[in-house]
Chains A and B, each alone.
Chain A
Amino acid sequence: MLNYIWFALMAIAVIVAAFKGTAAGVTKGAVDSAKTAVEISLGLIGIMTLWLGIMRVAEKAGLISMLARLLRPISRLLFPEVPGDHPAIGAIIMSVAANMLGLSNAATPLGIKAMEELQELNRDKETASNAMVTFMALNTSGIQFIPATMIGVLAAAGSKNPTAIISTSLIGTLCGAVAAVTSAKLLQRFFPYPAANDAPPLPPGEGSARTGVSE
């Protein structure tokens, strides 16, 4: 899927540039975006290091598995493939909670941590598991109680009631999340996961290996 979308975006850009004479714009778009991408990634190093450290403390203190057990009824419904006491569930909950509170600098590291935990359960390490796609569906719908950035934009533009969009955004984001998660569940059978004999067999002890250091 990404192969086609990725190539199509670039190919269309070059074809359009040929007709509209915007080749310079394409070059600028490519160069600037490459720079932005690296800045975003490097900008994550500090906060990523901090949260991965704190999360490891939370894990060792038994907090993550406690959280997972507490919300077992919901997680069983959304992530039936993930064992209830697996650290993945705790990490998913932490990440979604951070998103809801608008703590975007904590939400990304926690979400990546959740993906790493899900990757431990994943048989084919290059293919997304059903649980990963469901978690991504939750994440891309960006559930948030207070859309702080947008309130700021409206207030800066001189709005008399910039917080009017809180309720409407909440309805929008919840409907989007329900639609995305439902679609993830309904579509999963049409995008089959590779059959067991296609994937390399799991080496012994793989279940406990941490994907974060397996480079």
Chain B
Amino acid sequence: MIRAILGGISLWAIPVLLVGIPLIGMIRKIKVYDVFIDGAKEGFNVAVRIIPFLVAILVAIGMFRGSGAMDLMTNALRPLMARTGFPAELFPLAVMRTLSGSGSLAFTTDLVKRYGPDSLIGRQAGTMYGSSETLFYVIAVYFGAIGVKRTRHAIPAGLIGDFVAAVVAVAVCAWLF
């Protein structure tokens, strides 16, 4: 029921917004087409301005993964994680989730196939994937778009959020399933 409502909202939200917003503009006697073009002009610049930021971040992460440093790091930290009770199989995913969206999707799909989609590990992996966004991608895109170079506490705060989300995802699944 709730899922059907949310699904309907997701399906209709964009068409309704695309017509509804100009409709209210028309009622308020705004030249909607002229105003649209005026705002839309910025679109190209914004998208292009992101390129250097995104190239820098994705290349560094791509090199890190390509060298095998990623595997080395997770293997080194695995015994430490095992002591905390965090499932060792899921730890690489937790690290990857903050770095790479496509990488963590591949990791999750692999875990789901290996352990089964209805297994505890499979569901924990799926929940971890669904519980956060790719931190470094988000930082690169949003700060890149406005040219902010000093991100201050954005990365520490994001990492704490991702850490809590991962721990809660694992714990809630273990408790519920």
Contact = CB atoms under 8 A, between A and B. Distances in A.
Nearest to B129: A150
A20 B28 contact: no
A43 B132 CA distance: 22
A125 interface: yes
A215 B47 CA distance: 13
Given A157-B113, A180-B160, A193-B152, A168 B59 contact: no
B145 A157 contact: no
B156 interface: yes
Nearest to B38: A56
Contacts of A65: none
Nearest to A116: B146
Best-surrounded residue of A25, A140, A183 (most CB of chain B within 10 A): A140
A33 B61 contact: yes
Contacts of A2: 139, 149, 151, 155
Contacts of B92: none
A57 interface: yes
A115 interface: yes
Given A146-B10, A172-B165, A56 B36 contact: yes
A34 B140 CA distance: 13
Contacts of A82: none
Given A173-B130, A179-B161, A61 B64 contact: no
Nearest to A139: B138
Interface string A5-29: 1100110111011001011011111
A115 B145 contact: yes
A205 interface: no
Category for how many chain B residues contact A: 35 or more
A125 B147 contact: yes
Given A54-B17, A106-B14, A136-B139, A128 B152 contact: yes
Contact of B162 (A54, A127, A171, A176): A176
Interface of A: 1-2, 5-6, 9-10, 12-14, 16-17, 20, 22-23, 25-30, 32-34, 36-38, 40-42, 44-46, 48-63, 98, 101-103, 106, 108-109, 111-112, 115-116, 118-119, 122, 125-128, 132-133, 136-137, 139-142, 144-150, 153-155, 157-169, 171-173, 175-181, 183-184, 187-188, 190-191, 193, 210-213, 215
Interface of B: 3, 6-7, 9-10, 13-14, 17-18, 21-22, 24-25, 28, 30, 32, 35-51, 54-69, 72, 102, 105, 108-109, 112-113, 116-118, 122-123, 126-135, 138-139, 141-143, 145-158, 160-166, 168-169, 172-173, 176-177
6 contacts: A29-B62, A30-B62, A57-B32, A158-B117, A179-B163, A184-B154
